[in-house]
Amino acid sequence: MREYDAALLELVYDAKRFVLYMRSIIEIAPLQVYYSGLLFTPRSSLIRVGYLKNIPWVTMEPKVADVWSSLIQTLEGHTDAVLSVVFSPSGKLVASASDDNTVRLWDTSTGKQCGVLEGHTDFVMSAVFSPDGKLVASASFDNTVRLWDTSTAKQCGVLGGHFYYVNSAVFSPDGMLVASTSSDKTVRLWDTSTGKQCGVLESHTGWVNSAVFSPDGKLVACASYDRTIRLCDTSTGKQCGVLEGHTDQVNSAVFSPDGKLVASASNDKTVRLWDTSTGKQCGVLEVHTDRVNSAVFSPDGKLVASASDDRTVRLWDTSTAKQCGVLEVHTDRVNSAVFSPDGKLVASVSNDNAVRLWNTSTGKQCGFLEGHTGRVKPAVFSPDGKLVASTSGENTIRLCDISTEQQCGVLEGHTSRVNSTVFSPDGMLVASTSWDNTVRLWDTLTGKQCRVLEGHTDRVYSAVFSPDGMLVASASWDKTVRLWDTSTGKQCGVLESHTGAVNSAMFSPDGKLVASVSSDLTVRLWDASTGKQCGVLEGHTNRVNSAVFSPDGKLVASASDDATVRLWDTLTGNQCRVLECHLGAVNSAVFSPNGKLVASASNDATVRLWDTLTGNQCGFLAGHAGEVNSAVFSPDGKLVASASWDKTVILWDTTQKTAIEIMETSVSIKIMKFSNDGTHLHTSHGVLQLKSSLHSGGNRELAPPLTHSLSVTDQWITCNMKKLLWLPVEYRRSCSAVNDTANLIVIGSDSGRVTFISFDFTALPAAYLQPSVAVIAGKGFLGLVGC
Reported as a single tens digit per residue, the pLDDT across 10-24 is 889 899 889 988 888
Residue 782: per-residue pLDDT: 29
Residue 397: per-residue pLDDT: 62
pLDDT over 70 for what percent of the chain?
87
pLDDT above 90: residue 552:
yes
98-112, 396-410, 607-621 — which one is most confidently predicted on average? Answer: 607-621
Residue 454: per-residue pLDDT: 92
Of 32-36, 62-66, 156-160, 388-392, which range is least confident? 388-392
pLDDT above 50: residue 412:
no
pLDDT above 90: residue 689:
no
Amino acid at 719: C
Task: Give, in order, the Cα–Cα distances in Å from 168 to each of 84, 120, 293, 351.
Answer: 10, 14, 16, 21
- Mean per-residue pLDDT, 465-479: 94
- Mean per-residue pLDDT, 685-689: 69
62-71, 143-152, 718-727 — which one is most confidently predicted on average? Answer: 143-152
Q: How many residues does the chain have?
A: 787
Q: How far apart are CA 480 and CA 496, in angstroms?
A: 5
Q: How far apart are CA 203 and CA 195, in angstroms?
A: 23
Q: How far apart are CA 378 and CA 388, in angstroms?
A: 10
Residue 563: per-residue pLDDT: 94
pLDDT above 70: residue 770:
no
Partner residues linked to 737 by β-bridges: 746
Per-residue b/e over 297-334, b at no fewer than 16 CB within 10 Å? bbeebbbbbbbbbbbbbbbbebeebebebebebbeebb
Contacts made by residues 52-60, CB under 8 angstroms, sequence distance 24+: 56/760, 56/763, 57/759, 57/760, 57/761, 57/763, 57/764, 58/725, 58/757, 58/758, 58/759, 58/760, 59/743, 59/758, 59/759, 59/760, 60/446, 60/447, 60/744, 60/756, 60/757, 60/758
- Mean per-residue pLDDT, 136-146: 93
Residue 372: per-residue pLDDT: 54
Reported as a single tens digit per residue, the pLDDT across 269-280 is 999 999 998 989
- Mean per-residue pLDDT, 728-756: 82
Cβ-based neighbour number of residue 77 at 10 Å: 17
> Pick from 518, 525, 441: which is nearest to 480 by CA?
518
Residue 620: per-residue pLDDT: 92
Cβ-based neighbour number of residue 200 at 10 Å: 15
CB-hemisphere CA count at 13 Å for 174? 9
| Residue 783: band (very low, low, confident or very high) from pLDDT cuts 50, 70, 90 | very low
Reported as a single tens digit per residue, the pLDDT across 167-204 is 889 999 999 999 998 888 888 899 999 999 888 888 88
89-98, 395-404, 507-516 — which one is most confidently predicted on average? Answer: 507-516
pLDDT over 90 for what percent of the chain?
44
pLDDT above 60: residue 492:
yes
Task: Give, in order, the Cα–Cα distances in Å from 369 to each of 71, 98, 406.
Answer: 7, 22, 7
Q: How far apart are CA 546 and CA 255, in angstroms?
A: 53
Helix, coil or strand: residue 769: helix
Residue 378: per-residue pLDDT: 57
- Mean per-residue pLDDT, 659-678: 82
Residue 450: per-residue pLDDT: 87
Q: How far apart are CA 463 and CA 460, in angstroms?
A: 8
Q: Are 26 and 36 in contact (CB under 8 A)?
A: no
Q: Are 292 and 265 in contact (CB under 8 A)?
A: yes
CB-hemisphere CA count at 13 Å for 295? 34
Of 2-16, 454-468, 578-592, 617-631, which range is least confident? 2-16
Q: How far apart are CA 473 and CA 484, in angstroms?
A: 7
Q: Are 274 and 228 in contact (CB under 8 A)?
A: no
Mean pLDDT, the chain, rounded, equals 84
Q: Which residue has the higher pLDDT, 367 or 590?
A: 590
Q: Which residue has the higher pLDDT, 10 or 397?
A: 10
Reported as a single tens digit per residue, the pLDDT across 207-228 is 888 899 999 999 999 998 899 9
Q: How far apart are CA 422 and CA 598, in angstroms?
A: 25
pLDDT above 80: residue 717:
yes
